[in-house]
Amino acid sequence: MKSCWVIYNGSLISDKFADQARLVAEAADRAGVRTEIRKNFEVMMDLQQGVVSPPSFVVFLDKDILLATWLKASGIPVFNDPEVIETCDNKAKQYIKLAQAAIPMPRTVVAPKVYPNFSIAGTGYFERVLAEFGLPMIIKEGHGSFGAKVYLIETEEAFFEKVESLRGVDFVFQEFVASSRGRDIRVNTVGGRIVAAMYRHSETDFRANITNGGVAEPVELDDEQQRIALDAARAVGAEFAGVDLLFGPGGRPLVCEVNAAAHIRNIYNVTGINVADAMIEYILETLQ
């Protein structure tokens, strides 16, 4: 009988993270897998002792890259792979991968590294970015989930305040896609196939995330949306992904981002499809 650990971050107080773990664990139980839910700090990374009573595989719903890397190095299959989780957790790294694969996305410039106690104000760099992008534009921090740390910049004053506040932080400048303001599509993919999709929209925010007040409904994807979503997941190496698509000019889909640990409760509520069942089915087929 196969065994599984479902790992999430125990320091996060919102129940949505434990709920995500429960959905996956219940799917594994239904498939006949002996399953344990573990908070990340409940797995001691003792480099000399190693993993005590290791499971057959791990579903890793956290961003504790060191733990995921250690588990993989110990010979345990980890889904998604730690390198994929790390790539998707840093939007700048992710966009580099997407651009290498020629995935359609908004024009993006990765900001240069600036140490916290220093500044490149007055060098002309930021003025060049303003001239290239115009306003409004989007600034995104490298790390952030549920639409957090994504900023719609509408004035030069706000632009210079934001870039100065982000010294020491990975971030990107990105074209604001006005045709997709307050709306997008979330596509959940598993093992190179589309499992579920929903259309999200907000009347109160430029972001469509349900966490920020958006609402959602099922959606039928056209061929181009399907192809681009699958190509984006493949570009970052994700076996499980939540791909967010924007509505570009003329309706052309653009990839907003790829999530390697996408939450699946909302899409389950909206579509009735439990993505966790497809995840566990894929893992068991892969491990045969």
Number of CB atoms found within 10 A of residue 274's CB? 20
pLDDT of residue 92: 95
Bridge partner residues of 218 (DSSP): 198
pLDDT of residue 13: 85
pLDDT digits (tens, 9 = 90+) for 44-90: 999 999 999 999 999 999 999 999 999 999 999 999 999 999 999 99
pLDDT of residue 145: 77
CA 284 centroid distance within chain: 23
* Residues 167, 114 contacting (CB under 8 angstroms): yes
Percent of the chain with pLDDT over 70: 99
How far is Cα 37 from Cα 171, in angstroms, rounded to an integer? 33
What average pLDDT does this structure show over 168-181? 96
Task: Give the list of residues 6+ apart from residue 266 with CB closer than 8 angstroms, or none.
Answer: 198, 210, 216
How far is Cα 5 from Cα 18, in angstroms, rounded to an integer? 13
Confidence check: pLDDT of 205 > 90: no
Residue type, 47: L
pLDDT of residue 212: 63
| Element of type H or E holding 153 | strand 150-153
Range name among 135-139, 142-146, 207-211 with the lowest pLDDT average:
207-211
Supply φ then ψ for residue 43, to 5 degrees.
-115, 105
Percent of the chain with pLDDT over 90: 91
